[in-house]
Amino acid sequence: MKYVISTLGCKVNQYETQAMELLLQERGHQSAEPGESADAVIVNTCAVTAESGRKSRQMIRRLGEENPDAVIGVCGCYSQLSPEEARQSGAKIVFGTGDHKGFIAALERAVLSGGEEKEIDDPFRRTEYEQLPAGAVAGRTRALLKIQDGCVNFCTYCIIPYTRGRLRSLPIKAAEEETARIAAEGYRELVLTGIEIASYGVDLPGKPGLTDVVCAIAAKCGGMRIRLGSLEPTVITEEFCRRLAETGKVCRHFHLSLQSGCDRTLKAMNRKYDTEEFLKKTRLLRQYFPGCGITCDLIAGFPGETEEDFTSTLAFIRECAFSDMHIFPYSRRPGTPADRMPGQCTHAVKARRAAEAQKICTEMHKMFLEQSIGKTLPVLFETEENGMCTGHSDTYVLVSVPGTGLRNQVINVRITEICGEGLKGEMER
């Protein structure tokens, strides 16, 4: 069959989409060319905010209209949470965040003989990790490997624990095998993803931690470098930094989930650290990975956040000297405790605070770029256009050099100047 696939949301969803594409291709199915009519449409949905849910419904409808003869199948966090709404948007096959293999099989059945299927389990009853193939569909330079699923942190703004369920981890041996297989395919970077990778291993015999699995993966990753997905700051310890640095394989870029730089707000969010601890973690990372880029997520305008609270957040983000930030105005998510909290900020307040944080972020990003001038950064080249090749440095900055034919190579680049949001340099051979 010919399929069209669309993904909303985070890197875990991207990974699961890639894995489904690999499964589809293994079973002889092909991606429909632009303009070609598809037999099946897959929408891998997201529920992280109410807006993500709206976009998921919109995508289901739009792809349904564009492919009127196709069977529409949906999976992911939104359909896990609101299967009936997904069905009303036009989906015939409705699955959630578990059993992707079963989802593909149901889709095949529906394309062959019609019918509708809905399979939504209780994610809190899942005990097995659904192992899917790692990798990337043809044409990409970096591969994704999901090592963990589920979250039981119950941050008050987040719906994800209700869509992904309890903690499950990919066993270390399986992670090693997948890594060796991907390395042999010639990828140059492996991105480790999960819903909450800091909790890796709590469900496994002997309770290995994130450090153990990353070191095991590093030993099998051949010519690939390793990039870590979003981290809870609590996982960063001296041992974590020392052992990861010793592998020589881990990219000098760490994305930390900060969310607020005000202790009162962090408490209301049910985050498990305070600003003092967070700052210590950034210092440890910089000690063991000199010159590393540290990025973060921040929510502006959380319920109850006062002007004073937000002013402390702004001062704190300056102190952390992030290389970049993902800033989100707080978005109400029905079903979460924060949605029921008093002191909801107006849209205008959230937008203004997000813009203020963004202004500081832009200054800090520029500072980080300036600090890179004159330094040599290893760059994985991904694209080529008009005689310039571009890719990401290990510190996660876009770097361009004059040249051709560099795609999928990691080359040391001496940085000469800032170029837009990124850097420009010359190859060191």
Footprint of ligand SF4 (CB under 6 A): 151, 153-155, 158, 160-161, 195-196
CA 57/CA 324 separation, integer angstroms:
31
Q: Which is nearer to ligand SF4, 158 or 235 (CB)?
A: 158
Structure tokens at 240: 């974590």
Taking the complex as a whole, the smallest distance from the CB of residue 94 to ligand SF4 amounts, in Å, to 23
Ramachandran sector of residue 73 (left: φ over 0; alpha: ψ -120 to 50; beta: rest): beta
The count of C-alpha atoms lying within 13 angstroms of the C-alpha of 82, restricted to the half-sphere facing its C-beta, is 20
Taking the complex as a whole, the smallest distance from the CB of residue 35 to ligand SF4 amounts, in Å, to 38
Q: Which is nearer to ligand SF4, 80 or 153 (CB)?
A: 153
Q: Which is nearer to ligand SF4, 189 or 232 (CB)?
A: 232
Q: Which is nearer to ligand SF4, 14 or 89 (CB)?
A: 14
**Look-up: residue for tokens 């036009």?**
90
Taking the complex as a whole, the smallest distance from the CB of residue 77 to ligand SF4 amounts, in Å, to 10
CA 133/CA 178 separation, integer angstroms:
7
Residue 133 CA: distances (Å) to CA of 49, 143, 177, 199, 354: 28, 11, 11, 21, 38
Taking the complex as a whole, the smallest distance from the CB of residue 29 to ligand SF4 amounts, in Å, to 32
**Look-up: residue for tokens 């015939």?**
92
Q: Which is nearer to ligand SF4, 76 or 161 (CB)?
A: 161
Other residues' Cβ atoms within 10 Å of the Cβ of residue 419: 16
Nearest-CA neighbor of 193 among 155, 227, 235, 237?
A: 227
Strands 422-427 and 93-95: unpaired
Residue 274 CA: distances (Å) to CA of 260, 308, 361: 9, 17, 21
Taking the complex as a whole, the smallest distance from the CB of residue 169 to ligand SF4 amounts, in Å, to 15
Q: Which is nearer to ligand SF4, 156 or 323 (CB)?
A: 156
Q: Which is nearer to ligand SF4, 123 or 378 (CB)?
A: 123
CA 73/CA 116 separation, integer angstroms:
9
Taking the complex as a whole, the smallest distance from the CB of residue 164 to ligand SF4 amounts, in Å, to 7
**b/e per residue 53-66 (b: at least 16 CB within 10 A):** bebbbebbbebbee
Taking the complex as a whole, the smallest distance from the CB of residue 158 to ligand SF4 amounts, in Å, to 3
Q: Which is nearer to ligand SF4, 182 or 195 (CB)?
A: 195
Nearest-CA neighbor of 22 among 3, 43, 46?
A: 3
**Look-up: residue for tokens 């005990």?**
127
Taking the complex as a whole, the smallest distance from the CB of residue 402 to ligand SF4 amounts, in Å, to 41
CA 191/CA 169 separation, integer angstroms:
16
Q: Is there a contact between 199 and 213 (Cβ–Cβ < 8 Å)? A: no
**Look-up: residue for tokens 């970049």?**
324
Taking the complex as a whole, the smallest distance from the CB of residue 416 to ligand SF4 amounts, in Å, to 39
Q: Which is nearer to ligand SF4, 299 or 357 (CB)?
A: 299
Q: Is there a contact between 132 and 16 (Cβ–Cβ < 8 Å)? A: yes
Taking the complex as a whole, the smallest distance from the CB of residue 326 to ligand SF4 amounts, in Å, to 13
Q: Which is nearer to ligand SF4, 272 or 366 (CB)?
A: 272
